[in-house]
Chains A and B, each alone.
Chain A
């Protein structure tokens, strides 16, 4: 158990709808990262928050948005959903900004939220 909690585990919805994915980081971790994993693209970085502030943005669509709350949990909002948005969405956390092992940057991943858009 990584200590990162994601809900819901599974979500089925229709095109055009909006969903919210939730992530609670490990206790003490200040950074939250969101990734999208699909079969052909692998893990794609979407966005990072550090202590409530957006720190980095990756290939996140304009239809997607995220925020990190004062208690450090984070939500990823996906709107105007399309079939191609079907994927696994992972949240990861780390103590610091970084993503490297052995220090304060190691990434700890949750179990993911599987989104199916029909």
Chain B
């Protein structure tokens, strides 16, 4: 079993829809939870970052962490065609980039 599981999709939604992306994990020591966005032919870029449990909102994006269920989510409101990308969850026990474990990524398509 992988430490981080993420449905690869693809997920196709119409413009304006609410998108829910999810990851589950097995390591209860993870404390830092991140979402990266990767456009086609580009490298991943950090989208949001959360420490421990709870919610974090940034514009149309909301990240949720439920440590009791070992489950994290990223919600995208009013999705736009420009949101079409692969979204990778990532998590870490502590500082040190090498400790970051990435999910396989979910491909999202937002249709105009």
Which residues of A does B touch, CB under 8 Å? 2, 4, 31, 33, 40-45, 48, 55-56, 58, 90, 92, 94, 97-102, 105-112
- Is A98 touching B96 in the complex (CB atoms < 8 A)? yes
**Per-residue interface assignment for chain B, residues 43 to 63, with 1 indicating a CB less than 8 Å from any chain A CB and 0 otherwise:** 111101100000000000000
Residues A99 and B43 in contact, CB atoms below 8 Å apart = no
| Contact assessment for B97 and A97 in the assembled complex, using a CB-CB cutoff below 8 Å | yes
Contacts of B68 in A (CB 8 A): none
Which residues of chain A are within 8 angstroms of B88 by Cβ–Cβ distance?
42-43
B44 CB, nearest partner CB in chain A, Å: 5
Judged by a CB distance under 8 angstroms, whether B74 is at the interface is no
Residue of B nearest to A107 (CB): B97
Number of interface residues of B (CB under 8 A): 24
**Interchain pairs with CB closer than 8 A, number:** 75
Structural contact, B104 and A41, CB atoms closer than 8 A? yes
| Chain B residues in the interface with A (C-beta under 8 A) | 6, 32, 34, 41-46, 48-49, 88, 90, 92, 95-100, 102-105
B103–A42 contact, CB under 8 A? yes
Chain B positions within 8 Å of A55 at CB level: 98
* Complex A-B: 10 CB contacts under 8 Å: A33-B98, A42-B6, A43-B105, A45-B100, A97-B96, A99-B92, A99-B100, A107-B100, A108-B45, A112-B42
Dominant secondary structure of chain A at its interface with chain B: loop
Q: What residues of B have a CB within 8 angstroms of the CB of A45 in the complex? A: 98, 100
- When chains A and B are docked, how far (Å) is the Cα of A48 from the Cα of B100? 12
CB distance from B88 to the nearest CB of A (A): 7
